[in-house]
Structure 1
Amino acid sequence: MPLMEHLRELRNRLIKSILALVIGAIIGWLLFDPVWDVLKQPYCSLPQSRVVDKDQCSLFVNGIFSSFFLKLKISCIIGAVISSPVWLYQIWAFVAPGLYQKERRWTYTFMGAAVPLFFIGSALAYVTVDKGLAIFLGFVADDVKPLITVDSYLSYVLTMLLVFGLTFELPLFVVILNLAGVLSSSRIRKSQRVAIFGIFAFAAVATPSADPFTMLALALPTVVLFEIAALLAFFNDRRKARRPDPYADLADDEASPLDLDAIDAELEKGDSRA
C-alpha cells in the first residue's frame, strides 16, 4: 500500500476512534451519578467521612469549576472504558496487516490475558482503598476534621486502580518474553530473588499512600503471579527441550542444510504481500 493510502487509513481509523470516545463520554456523562456512588464508597465507609453530617459522608470542592471538571473527567474515563472495543479494534485493524500469523497469535494471547489481569488488579485496588485511607485518617486528632477535596480523593483512587492494574501485567510480560525465546526459565530462576525484591520496592514507591498494608496488598499477589509465570516458563522450556534438534549431528565447522524450497516459498509469499 502506498504511503498516502496508509495515511488515509490512519486518518479514517482515528476519526472512528474519536467518535467512539465522544459517544462513550456522552454515555458516561449520563451514568455519572451511579459511577460516582461506586467511586466514593470506600471513603464513605470510613467514620472520618462524616464531617458535616453524621449520617452522610462529605467531600469538598475548592473552586467554582471543580465540580464541572470532575464530572467531565469521570465521563471521559467512563467513555474510554465503554468505547474500548471500538478503538482497540481500530488500532488492531491498522497494525494487523503488517504482522505474521505467529505474531498475531501472540497478540491474541496477550490481549486475552492482559484485560482480565488489569481488571483483577483494579478490583483488588478498589477493595484496599479504604484500608489505606483508614490508616492515614486514623492519625487525625479528635478535635480536627479532615476536609478531603474531591480532586485529591479522585486522583488517589484512579492512581490506585492504574498502579494495581498495570502491575498485574508484569507476569504476562515475563511469559511473553519466554515464549519469544528472549527470557529463559533458568535466567528467571537465577534472578528470582532480585525480582521479588524489586517487586516489593516498586510497590512501596508506586502506591500513592505508601502504607504497609497497601504495599503488601500489591506486592504479595504480584509475587504469586510472578511465580506462576516462572513456572509456566519452566514448562515451556522443558517442552522445547524435548523437541529433536535438526542440527545435533552436525559438526561445529560443518554448514547446516538449507531447505531451499521453503526459502523460495517464503520469498514468494513476501513478494505477494508487497
Structure 2
Amino acid sequence: MTDTTEEQKMPLLEHLIELRKRLLWSVLTLLFAFLASFAFAEYLFEFLAAPLAEVMRENAVSDRETRLIFTDLTEVFFTYVKVAFFFGAFISCPIFLSQIWLFVAPGLYKNEKSAFAPFLIASPILFFIGGALVYYVIFPMAAEFFLGFQVQGSESTIAIELEAKVNEYFSLMMKLIFAFGICFQLPVLMTLLAKVGMATSKGMAEKRKYAIVGVFIVAAIFTPPDPLSQLALAIPIVLLYEISILMAKMVEKKRAEEENAESTDT
C-alpha cells in the first residue's frame, strides 16, 4: 500500500516541480522584458501617442504647441510603468506560450499536439492584428471625429480645446487594443468549440444573421458614433466569423475522415 501511494505521489510532485520551473522562466522573462521596456518607456509612450499627436496637429485651433498634460505628481511615472509592463508582456508573450506548450505537450497524444499547436501561434498573431487595426485605423478616425468638436476662440466665443491627460489617453488606447485583440480571437474560439463538439459549421451558418447584428452592436459600443469607425471594426469581425465557419468545416471533415479510417480498420 505504501509503495502504491508513493508511486501516485511522485508523478504529482514531478508535475508541480515542472510547473514551478515553467512559471519561474515566465516570471523572469517578464521581469527582464519589463526592465528593458522601462528603460525606453518615454519613447514607447511617444509611439503610442503618435496617432493622437498627428491628428491634434492637423486639427489645431490655435498656435499652441501640441501636448499631453498631467495633473498628479506621480501620473507620468506610473503611466511609464504601465507602458513598460504592457510592452514587456507583449515581448515575453512567445516565451509564455512556449512554456505553456512545454508543460502541456508531454501529456498530449501526437494528434492532440498537432491540433493544439496552431492555436498557440494564431492567438497572438490575431491579437497583434487587432491592436494594429486600432493604432493605424480606428483611433485616428476616432480622434478626428472627437477633435472636430473643438472651437476656435474669438471676441464673442470662448475657445474649446482638448487638454488630454497622459494616463487617460493611455487607458483609452489600452482598452481599445485589448477590446479589438479579444474580438479577433473569434476564429480561435469557434474552432476550439468545433473541435470539442460544442459548435458546428452548420449551426454557425444558420445563426449568421444574428451574429452580424451582434457584431454591429459590439462595433457601436467600442467605436465612436460614426459609420466609418463602426464599419472598420464590424467588417473584419464578420470576415473572421466566416473564416470560423470554414475552420469548423475543416475540423468536421478531418474528424469524419478519422472516424471512417477507424471503422475501416475495425
Global fold match (TM > 0.5): yes
Supply the RMSD in Å over aligned alpha carbons: 2.8
Give 1:159's match in structure 2, choosing from 175, 197, 215. 175
**Other-structure match for 1:7:** 16
Query: Whole-Å Cα distance in 2 between the matches of residues 74 and 201 of structure 1?
Result: 30
Give the 3 Å change call, closer, same or farther, for CA 2–145 of structure 1 in structure 2: same
Query: Whole-Å Cα distance in 2 between the matches of residues 246 and 167 of structure 1?
Result: 37
- Corresponding letter in the other structure for 1:199: V
Query: Whole-Å Cα distance in 2 between the matches of residues 242 and 18 of structure 1?
Result: 42
1:197 aligns with 2:181: no
Q: Secondary structure at the match of 2:87?
A: helix
Give the 3 Å change call, closer, same or farther, for CA 227–77 of structure 1 in structure 2: same
Query: Whole-Å Cα distance in 1 between the matches of residues 103 and 17 of structure 2?
Result: 11
Q: Quote how far apart the aligned CAs of 1:57 are.
A: 1.9
Give the 3 Å change call, closer, same or farther, for CA 220–258 of structure 1 in structure 2: closer
Select the structure that is richer in helix.
Answer: 2
Q: Quote how far apart the aligned CAs of 1:84 are.
A: 2.0
Please, which moves more after superposition, 177-186 or 112-121?
A: 177-186
Q: Secondary structure at the match of 2:151?
A: coil
Identity %: 34
- Corresponding letter in the other structure for 2:148: G
**Other-structure match for 2:139:** 129
- Corresponding letter in the other structure for 2:20: R
Query: Whole-Å Cα distance in 2 between the matches of residues 68 and 39 of structure 1?
Result: 16
Query: Whole-Å Cα distance in 2 between the matches of residues 185 and 218 of structure 1?
Result: 23
1:118 aligns with 2:127: yes
Q: Secondary structure at the match of 2:67?
A: coil
What are the ranges of 5 or more consecutive residues in structure 2 without an aligned counterpart? 1-9, 153-158
- Corresponding letter in the other structure for 1:228: I
TM-score of the pair, normalised by structure 1: 0.79
TM-score of the pair, normalised by structure 2: 0.81
1:67 aligns with 2:67: no
**Other-structure match for 2:237:** 222
Query: Whole-Å Cα distance in 2 between the matches of residues 12 and 247 of structure 1?
Result: 39
Please, which moves more after superposition, 230-239 or 219-228?
A: 230-239
- Corresponding letter in the other structure for 1:171: P
Q: Any idea what the Cα deviations from partners look like across 1:93-119, whole Å, max 9, x if unmatched?
A: 222223232222122111222222211
Please, which moves more after superposition, 185-194 or 133-142?
A: 133-142
Q: Quote how far apart the aligned CAs of 1:244 are.
A: 8.0
Q: Quote how far apart the aligned CAs of 1:36 are.
A: 1.9
Q: Quote how far apart the aligned CAs of 1:47 are.
A: 3.4
**Other-structure match for 1:150:** 166
**Other-structure match for 1:266:** none
Query: Whole-Å Cα distance in 1 between the matches of residues 250 and 116 of structure 2?
Result: 21
Please, which moves more after superposition, 170-179 or 121-130?
A: 170-179
Q: Quote how far apart the aligned CAs of 1:132 are.
A: 0.4
Conservation of the 8 A alpha-carbon contact between 1:52 and 1:58: no
- Corresponding letter in the other structure for 1:224: L
